[in-house]
């Protein structure tokens, strides 16, 4: 029988304030197989870890149970502690008596103490049947793929390539730059976007470690973290030209450069960064604002093209209907955003700031004109953002009106805008020459299909879902696939660049390893019991199961298996089990409670 040591943590008063830890230790000492039990104020501290090491040596322990906080917090810590004294780390288990006991039973201390004793007993039984395991090692391909050639994809590709690793950059459009290529400038400094983008694309094109594929899409992806195989299809015969900002209505010939002549290449990569960007909510769905009905009702990107010197109007603001300079311009914020009843419930985040920028640039170009901004709230979080909005109001006399627009319709040569100033309760009517809708930001149209190919999830709005909104904001739930930019949720250029660099840092962290290390607590198959029915193959959510090519048995892809036990549940012959969580262990844990 194993000699098991139990170490009970007070966790200050987090556990000891509710659970009588001394009584727990006393009861556990009497349990069969427990050779040593002790309580200590902070077992995770260095003195606490030394107690574990000394007990392993002095009491010849071959199993350790630490009754403390969640395994997520300190399981790795305690397994390293046991390994440092020669005990296999997988002979150490955590009994969670904080989150699952003391914190949820603070008003019932006696019952909490009894529950803590029962929890520890079950983990003692688990350790009794634990195997000594060795982490699995897998090969690691140190090349990355970045999907999306907007500012997020460009930044991520540069960061990875500058660190010395090859990158394949896949862009769906005919050129690089994404929506930033459509901007006349950025807010705060007003004129940085074109120069910033041009220099970034130039670095991408000249970088020896970056292979650019434009007019290309990911068709199929397989494999696992460190070993992905991605098939890419590329439109055209390679004679097309790559333009900086293919979405821009016109691009100078000086910005032309050739692209690769690849038609359907397949790449082996170790990590993928998804940076597919955003689109604007279709104007046609905004009938109440005249979207798609009147030529003088446009969206923010169309107005940006008017402001751009290389745009269709040569940088002059003109009405699309007759080419005249508009004297009255109305900006409608939250057009499709923050509208759960009809459109999108979320805030698109960038609209307040780019409207302030566009209204300022309009006033600088047409000083005698008047700019109106209908808004719900001004959300100007960021360094210098609030001051920028205030300057638009105070220095350029942009008139901000708090209230939603109720109706936009045409009348003679004007576009009539009805609304209410909710601060004064006054109904408003503006006879505008031009209406600019700050439409909602939505995911790229192909995001959902791409997510299915890569096996990464999207939220209810179609944005890619991060693994954890606070602790893992640039990781997807599929290991080795990272997120950057507005494809994950609306964000402005500084935040996009920061997230892209964060995703690149995660890739570099992965590539810093010599080889992949996989937890060994995964499923395995008893070949003598397996009948080859294949039920486990269909049940596995991670595609880690397959049938052997010539033998009638199921096999496990160790790199993909996450130890979820779905295969165990469906196997009629009980041929499937998970290392250190098999049926015998579970039944023994249940017996300890009954």
d(CA 123, CA 592): 9
pLDDT grade for 239, boundaries at 50, 70 and 90: very low
What is the structure's pLDDT at 119? 97
Confidence of residue 259 (pLDDT cuts 50, 70, 90): very low
Strand partners, 407: 418
User: 507-516, pLDDT tens digit by residue?
Assistant: 999 999 988 8
pLDDT surpasses 80 at 237: no
The pLDDT of 43-53, averaged and rounded, is: 96
All domains of the chain in start order, with CATH = 4-129 (3.40.50.960), 144-277+444-511 (3.50.50.60), 282-441 (3.50.50.60), 522-578 (3.30.70.20)
Query: Taking a C-beta distance cutoff of 8 angstroms, is the pair 159, 504 a contact?
Result: yes
* pLDDT computed for residue 194 by the predictor: 67
How much is the average pLDDT of 332-360?
A: 95
Predicted local distance difference test score (pLDDT) of residue 55: 97
Report yes or no on whether pTM surpasses 0.75: yes
Provide mean pLDDT across the span 154-164: 97
The pLDDT, as a whole number, for residue 193 is: 67
* Secondary structure, 3-state, 432-487: ECEEEEEECEEECCCHHHHHHHHCCCECCCCCECCCECCCECCECCCCCEEECHHH
Interval 502-558: pLDDT, tens = 999 999 999 999 888 889 999 999 999 999 999 999 999 988 999 999 999 999 998
pLDDT tens digits, residue range 307-333? Answer: 988 889 999 999 999 999 999 999 999
Q: Which of 177-181, 233-237, 487-491 has the lowest mean pLDDT?
A: 233-237
> Could you report the per-residue pLDDT of 170-223, keeping only the tens digit for each?
999 999 999 999 998 888 877 766 678 999 999 999 999 999 999 999 999 998
Look over the chain and give the mean of its residue pLDDT values, rounded to a whole number: 92
Q: Report the pLDDT value the prediction gives residue 249, as an integer from 0 to 100.
A: 56
DSSP state of 513: S
pLDDT digits (tens, 9 = 90+) for 557-587: 988 898 999 999 999 999 999 999 999 999 9
Model pLDDT, residue 246: 40
Q: How confident is the model at residue 253 (pLDDT cuts 50, 70, 90)?
A: very low
Distances (CA, A) of 152 to 240, 273, 366, 500, 531: 24, 10, 34, 5, 49
What token pair was written down for 547? 């049938």
Q: Rounded CA gap, 309 and 113, in Å?
A: 73
pLDDT mean over 15-27:
97
Give the other-Cβ count within 10 Å of 401's Cβ. Answer: 21
Mean pLDDT, residues 271-296: 95
- The pLDDT > 70 percentage for the chain reads 95
pLDDT of residue 186: 87
C-alpha to C-alpha distance for 103 and 98, rounded to whole angstroms: 6
Q: Give Cβ neighbours of residue 198 (< 8 Å, ≥ 6 apart).
A: 244, 255
Q: What is the pLDDT of residue 164?
A: 96
> Is residue 135 scored above 90 in pLDDT?
yes
Give me the pLDDT at residue 241, please. Answer: 39
Q: 465 vs 543, which has greater pLDDT?
A: 465
pLDDT at res. 594: 87
Structure tokens at 137: 């090692």
């Amino acid at each position: 029988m194993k000699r098991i040591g139990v170490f009970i943590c007070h966790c200050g008063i987090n556990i000891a304030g509710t659970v009588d830890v001394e009584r727990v230790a006393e009861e556990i000492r009497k349990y069969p197989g427990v050779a040593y039990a002790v309580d200590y104020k902070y077992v995770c501290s260095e003195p606490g870890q030394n107690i574990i090491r000394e007990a392993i040596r002095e009491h010849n322990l071959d199993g350790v149970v630490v009754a403390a906080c969640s395994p997520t917090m300190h399981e790795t810590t305690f397994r390293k502690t046991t390994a440092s004294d020669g005990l296999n780390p997988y002979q150490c288990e955590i009994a969670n008596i904080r989150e699952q006991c003391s914190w949820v039973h603070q008003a019932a201390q006696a019952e909490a103490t009894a529950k803590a004793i029962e929890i520890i007993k079950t983990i003692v039984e688990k350790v009794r049947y634990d195997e000594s395991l060795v982490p699995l090692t897998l090969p690691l391909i140190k090349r990355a793929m970045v999907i999306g050639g907007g500012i997020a994809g460009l930044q991520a590709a540069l960061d990875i390539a500058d660190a010395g690793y090859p990158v394949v950059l896949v862009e769906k459009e005919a050129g690089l730059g994404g929506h930033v290529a459509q901007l006349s400038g950025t807010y705060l400094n007003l004129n940085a976007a074109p120069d910033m983008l041009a220099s970034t694309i130039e670095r991408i094109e000249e970088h020896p470690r970056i292979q650019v594929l434009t007019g290309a899409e990911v068709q199929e992806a397989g494999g696992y973290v460190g070993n992905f195989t991605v098939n890419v299809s590329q439109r055209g015969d390679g004679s097309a030209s790559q333009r900086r900002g293919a979405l821009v209505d016109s691009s100078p010939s000086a910005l032309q450069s050739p692209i690769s002549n690849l038609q359907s290449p397949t790449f082996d990569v170790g990590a993928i960064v998804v940076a597919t960007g955003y689109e604007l909510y279709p104007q046609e769905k905004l009938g109440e604002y005249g979207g798609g009905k009147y030529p003088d009702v446009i969206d923010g990107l169309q107005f940006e093209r008017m402001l751009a010197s290389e745009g269709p109007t040569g940088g002059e603001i003109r009405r699309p209907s007759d080419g005249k300079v508009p004297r009255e311009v109305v900006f409608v914020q939250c057009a499709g955003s923050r509208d759960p009843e009809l459109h999108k419930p979320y805030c698109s985040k960038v609209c307040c700031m780019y409207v302030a920028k566009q209204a300022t640039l309009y006033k600088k170009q047409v000083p005698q004109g008047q700019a109106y901004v209908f808004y719900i709230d001004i959300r100007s979080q960021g360094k210098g953002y609030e001051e920028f909005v205030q300057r638009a109001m105070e220095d350029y006399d942009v008139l901000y009106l708090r209230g939603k627009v109720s109706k936009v319709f045409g009348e003679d040569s004007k576009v009539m805008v009805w609304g209410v100033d909710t601060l004064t309760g006054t109904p408003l009517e503006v006879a505008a020459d031009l209406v600019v809708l700050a439409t909602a930001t939505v995911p790229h149209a192909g995001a959902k299909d791409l997510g299915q190919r890569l096996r990464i999830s999207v939220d209810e709005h179609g944005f890619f879902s991060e693994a954890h909104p606070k602790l893992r904001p640039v990781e997807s739930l599929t290991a080795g696939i990272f997120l950057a930019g507005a494809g994950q949720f609306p964000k402005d250029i500084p935040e996009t660049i920061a997230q892209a660099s964060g995703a690149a840092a995660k890739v570099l962290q992965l590539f810093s390893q010599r080889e992949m290390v996989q937890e060994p607590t995964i499923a395995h198959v008893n070949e003598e019991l397996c009948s080859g029915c294949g039920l486990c193959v269909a049940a596995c959510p991670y595609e880690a199961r397959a049938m052997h090519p010539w033998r009638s048995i199921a096999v496990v892809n160790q790199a993909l298996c996450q130890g979820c036990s779905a295969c165990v549940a469906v196997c009629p012959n009980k041929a499937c089990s998970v290392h250190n969580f098999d049926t015998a262990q579970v039944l023994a844990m249940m017996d300890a409670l009954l």
